[in-house]
A and B are shown apart, each in its own frame.
With several copies, the nearest count.
Chain A
Amino acid sequence: MDLTLSDEQKLIRQAVERFIRNDYSFDARKKIIGAEPGYSTAHWQTFAELGWLGVPLPEAHGGFGGALADLLQVVEPFGAGMVVEPYLPSVILAGTAIAEGGSEAQQAELLPAIADGTLIAALAHGERQSRFNPHDVQTSARREGDAYLLDGQKTVVPGAPWAQKFIVSARTAGERFDAEGIGLFVVDADAAGLQVDSYRTADGARAGNVTLQQVRVPASAALGDPAAGLTALTAALDLGLAAACGEALGAMQAVYQRTLDYVKTRKQFDVPIGSFQVIQHRLVDMFTAVESSRSMLTMLAVRFADPQERARALTATKVHLGQNARYVAQQAVQLHGGIGMTEELDIGHYFRRLTLFCLAFGSTDEQLETYAAEHI
């Protein structure tokens, strides 16, 4: 039994951690998100040069072919730094959808560009009514000769303002909730009839609603079978959730550590508040929450590749990290007191990011329900 990192994993982790430490301080990040376009193209270029954008992508197409355990070495420090660059939207979500659903030609065209940072793509699958259910697709793709006409609205698409291409889920057949009949289509951001309404998101990044009105794409824009896109979509969402858990662990560790440091120095009634027993026990509970989350993610990294185990392991991980992230984030604010409630300090930003994590890909509580229904 060996749960230590490989040398390769250690190297990449150290590199990402070094980047966060040196180039992605809270103040540096604040400048990035306060200006346009809302992420750093320079950093993105760095990520590409250091090979990080290729970690989960296939070796045949410019990637590293990494397993989840490799990917976690990138996303955990990213979570600790609250990185806003579109790693999850472009590399993980769109990248996986293409790698899992696309033909060799499509992969060869798109993946190297994602890996070298020249292409930012985004996965547009959510809709006004769908919440986190990828089956609930009302956007339609109607075949017309050699083309498809796409109609509908995709909502809350992370990275949308920056995307040059969207991977859009749309129904080619069947009824609203059917698993069959969903296709994934590669659509240029500047396609006629496509409009992006962009906004900031609570975690400091950006997203948008993508409206498609009679958007015409060639039939070749379908990633694989235009009626069987759900497999690739699910694979993308699975890896997306796993990576989000990794980011959350990084953020939890960071916010726990800051809280621990704070209670050691912050004085009230002439003593550090860390000398109060209720504060001490609270910190112990936070520590336990972080370490237990790390254990669960270790489990996930081991089991993720096993198709028999993946869904169960992933659901359990989301439940556990969601519950612990909520606790750690809330207590971090509580123990920081007033200063934890301000925009000025990083604590509140971790809080917002972890709040969204608790919802991402299905809320903690929804995932618990899923586990109860399907996995006990």
Chain B
Amino acid sequence: MNVDFSPAELEFQQQVRQWFADNLPADLKRKNELGKMPSRDELVAWQRKLNEQGWLAPGWPEEHGGPGWTATQRYIFDLERARAGAPIGLSMGIVMLGPVLMAFGTPEQKQTYLPRILSCDDWWCQGYSEPGSGSDLASLKTSAVPDGDSYVVNGSKIWTTYAHYANRMFCLVRTSNEGKKQAGISFLLIDMDTPGLEVRPIISIDGEHHLNEVFFTDVRVPKANLVGQEGQGWTIAKYLLTHERTTIAGVADSKVNLGILKAMAAENQSNGKPMLEDPRIRRRIAQVEIDLLALEWTNLRTLAATAAGKAPGPESSNLKLAGTAVQQAITELMVEIAGPWAWPWQTGDYVGPPELAHAVERYNFARAATIYGGSDEVQKNVLAKMMLGLK
């Protein structure tokens, strides 16, 4: 057994670490520490800087402008990204649409869209969920009816992350009501400024605007914007779900957040002593740290299997379940440390210790982790069926 990185990998790690140290803006780092979302402009500027370095799309092959990294390199990159205090960035175009276009897109679609994802000229949002569909994604109702060279789209999407920042959306639409409900779904690209498309904000319980509803009223979309075949939408969506994700467990960020948690506990007192000296707090931190260590090694085992050529399977469900549990536990402890400073709401940095003032927001937002992207309950259904063979 050998978990050491190779000399080349270690050199890579050093190179990445140095680059982040040289290039990450201090205010972006600070926002990330506080668990705050950067502005659209900040994020675009940062992602363009990453793209100049060729590192914006770690999972893309070189032919499409990616770095062509191995799974291990991508893992190392994410580790260093988090350690440096850099945000994950908005990855719908990079992580979701890019791989879809590479696998299912026409040459024109690839040529048009992939470079614009890297240059950040396009900001993509994902239109999957609908009011009422929830975890039962295949029940979606937004219709796309052919009419000449176009589809006419009617319906609505919900929980659309950063639709208010995006200029394009990839979405699942219903092109047929025949047969199995999965069979009538297609994958469509829509410009956000198309007439009849309206975005309405949803404020989350952390008080922030991350999410939106998107309404379509007779929105005309060129047929050239169909990805794959009509009715192939479900296949494409499933392709993405089982697409290998080395970082779904969020280990790198949880390690950083655990460090922030310890700093919070060291800097704040209870009964005149730093809370980090309180055995009660130490025990709870110890519990999370041990859980995170186990998660890290489950992640490494999956990575090692991938490196050894094994196709990734439903392990990502497992990693997501355990990863989100750790994320939630960390934010819950942040609230515990905050104590009375959990009361001030969205006061920014001007009232009380800033890390503490943001603790409740982080805790609230982290509740989404076990809901979105397949709830805990759905993940367990998947595991029961696929890994355990329970029907």
When distances are taken between beta carbons in the complex, the residues of chain B under 8 Å from A199 are: 344-345, 347, 351
When distances are taken between beta carbons in the complex, the residues of chain B under 8 Å from A307 are: none
Q: How far apart sit A340 and B206, CA to CA, in the bound complex (Å)?
A: 12
B301 and A298 contact, CB distance less than 8 A: yes
Quick check: is A288 within 8 A (CB to CB) of the other chain?
yes
When distances are taken between beta carbons in the complex, the residues of chain A under 8 Å from B283 are: 368-369, 372
Contact residues of A between 342 and 360, Cβ < 8 Å to B: 342-344, 348-349, 351-352, 355-356, 359
Nearest A residue (CB) for B361: A202
- From B2, B271, B336, A136 is in contact (CB under 8 Å) with B271
A342 and B202 contact, CB distance less than 8 A: yes
Quick check: is B236 within 8 A (CB to CB) of the other chain?
no
B280 and A365 contact, CB distance less than 8 A: yes
Nearest A residue (CB) for B328: A330
Residue from A1, A4, A131, A372 having most chain B Cβ neighbours under 10 A: A1
Nearest B residue (CB) for A3: B304
A1 and B3 contact, CB distance less than 8 A: yes
Q: Known contacts being A288-B322, A369-B283, is A280 close to B390, with CB within 8 Å?
A: yes
Q: How far apart sit A276 and B375, CA to CA, in the bound complex (Å)?
A: 14
B207 and A343 contact, CB distance less than 8 A: yes
Q: How far apart sit A319 and B286, CA to CA, in the bound complex (Å)?
A: 10
Q: How far apart sit A152 and B190, CA to CA, in the bound complex (Å)?
A: 59
Stretch at the interface among A55-63, A107-115, A242-250, A331-339: A331-339
Q: How far apart sit A333 and B158, CA to CA, in the bound complex (Å)?
A: 17
Closest Cβ of chain B: how far from A197's Cβ, in Å? 7
Stretch at the interface among B37-45, B98-106, B169-177, B291-299: B291-299
B380 and A292 contact, CB distance less than 8 A: no
A287 and B387 contact, CB distance less than 8 A: yes
Closest Cβ of chain B: how far from A174's Cβ, in Å? 14
Contact with A along B304-324 (1 / 0, CB 8 A): 110110000000001001100
When distances are taken between beta carbons in the complex, the residues of chain A under 8 Å from B338 are: 359
When distances are taken between beta carbons in the complex, the residues of chain A under 8 Å from B388 are: 260, 280, 283-284, 287
Stretch at the interface among A46-54, A75-83, A223-231, A266-274: A266-274
- From A156, A260, A298, B340 is in contact (CB under 8 Å) with A156
Q: Size band of the B side of the interface?
A: 35 or more
When distances are taken between beta carbons in the complex, the residues of chain B under 8 Å from A337 are: 134-135, 371, 375
When distances are taken between beta carbons in the complex, the residues of chain A under 8 Å from B335 are: 355, 359
Q: Known contacts being A343-B207, A376-B285, is A320 close to B390, with CB within 8 Å?
A: no
Nearest A residue (CB) for B270: A131
B202 and A4 contact, CB distance less than 8 A: no
When distances are taken between beta carbons in the complex, the residues of chain B under 8 Å from A131 are: 269-271, 339-340
B135 and A268 contact, CB distance less than 8 A: yes
- From B204, B289, B346, B347, A341 is in contact (CB under 8 Å) with B204
Q: Known contacts being A269-B136, A348-B205, A359-B340, is A202 close to B360, with CB within 8 Å?
A: yes
Closest Cβ of chain A: how far from B166's Cβ, in Å? 18
Nearest B residue (CB) for A303: B3
Contact residues of B between 370 and 391, Cβ < 8 Å to A: 370-372, 375-377, 380-381, 383-384, 387-391
Quick check: is A209 within 8 A (CB to CB) of the other chain?
yes
Contact residues of A between 283 and 312, Cβ < 8 Å to B: 283-285, 287-288, 291-296, 298-299, 301-302
When distances are taken between beta carbons in the complex, the residues of chain A under 8 Å from B145 are: none
Quick check: is A220 within 8 A (CB to CB) of the other chain?
no
Quick check: is A139 within 8 A (CB to CB) of the other chain?
no
B380 and A177 contact, CB distance less than 8 A: no
Contact residues of B between 44 and 67, Cβ < 8 Å to A: none
- From B132, B272, B364, A351 is in contact (CB under 8 Å) with B364
When distances are taken between beta carbons in the complex, the residues of chain A under 8 Å from B391 are: 274-275
Contact with A along B259-274 (1 / 0, CB 8 A): 0001000000111100
- From A334, A344, A349, A372, B286 is in contact (CB under 8 Å) with A372
Q: How far apart sit A333 and B205, CA to CA, in the bound complex (Å)?
A: 10
Q: Known contacts being A131-B270, A343-B204, is A156 close to B344, with CB within 8 Å?
A: yes
Closest Cβ of chain B: how far from A22's Cβ, in Å? 26
Closest Cβ of chain A: how far from B213's Cβ, in Å? 10
When distances are taken between beta carbons in the complex, the residues of chain B under 8 Å from A292 are: 294-295, 298, 322
Quick check: is A180 within 8 A (CB to CB) of the other chain?
no
Q: How far apart sit A267 and B301, CA to CA, in the bound complex (Å)?
A: 36
A373 and B1 contact, CB distance less than 8 A: no
Q: How far apart sit A270 and B383, CA to CA, in the bound complex (Å)?
A: 21
A177 and B340 contact, CB distance less than 8 A: no
A267 and B132 contact, CB distance less than 8 A: yes
When distances are taken between beta carbons in the complex, the residues of chain B under 8 Å from A333 are: 205, 367, 371
Quick check: is A11 within 8 A (CB to CB) of the other chain?
no
Q: Known contacts being A3-B301, A209-B351, A369-B280, is A355 close to B360, with CB within 8 Å?
A: yes
Q: How far apart sit A320 and B383, CA to CA, in the bound complex (Å)?
A: 22
Nearest A residue (CB) for B365: A341
Nearest A residue (CB) for B336: A363
- From B293, B318, B339, A316 is in contact (CB under 8 Å) with B293
A359 and B339 contact, CB distance less than 8 A: yes
Residue from B72, B202, B293, B387 having most chain A Cβ neighbours under 10 A: B293
Closest Cβ of chain A: how far from B77's Cβ, in Å? 14
Quick check: is B284 within 8 A (CB to CB) of the other chain?
yes
Q: How far apart sit A369 and B291, CA to CA, in the bound complex (Å)?
A: 15
When distances are taken between beta carbons in the complex, the residues of chain A under 8 Å from B339 are: 131-132, 359, 363
Would you give 20 A-B contacts (Cβ < 8 Å), ordered by A? Answer: A3-B304, A3-B305, A69-B1, A129-B272, A131-B269, A131-B270, A199-B344, A201-B343, A270-B136, A274-B390, A279-B377, A280-B390, A295-B297, A296-B297, A320-B291, A320-B294, A341-B211, A343-B204, A344-B202, A356-B360
Known A3-B3, A343-B205; 7 more pairs at CB < 8 Å: A126-B340, A155-B340, A201-B343, A337-B135, A342-B204, A371-B289, A376-B286
List the 5 shortest-distance A-B pairs measured between CB atoms, nearest first. Answer: A348-B205, A280-B384, A295-B297, A343-B203, A372-B286
Residues of A within 8 A of B (CB): 1-6, 69, 126, 128-129, 131-133, 136, 155-156, 158, 176-177, 197, 199-203, 207, 209, 260, 263-264, 266-270, 274-281, 283-285, 287-288, 291-296, 298-299, 301-302, 316, 319-320, 330, 333-334, 337-338, 340-344, 348-349, 351-352, 355-356, 359, 363, 365-366, 368-369, 371-373, 375-376
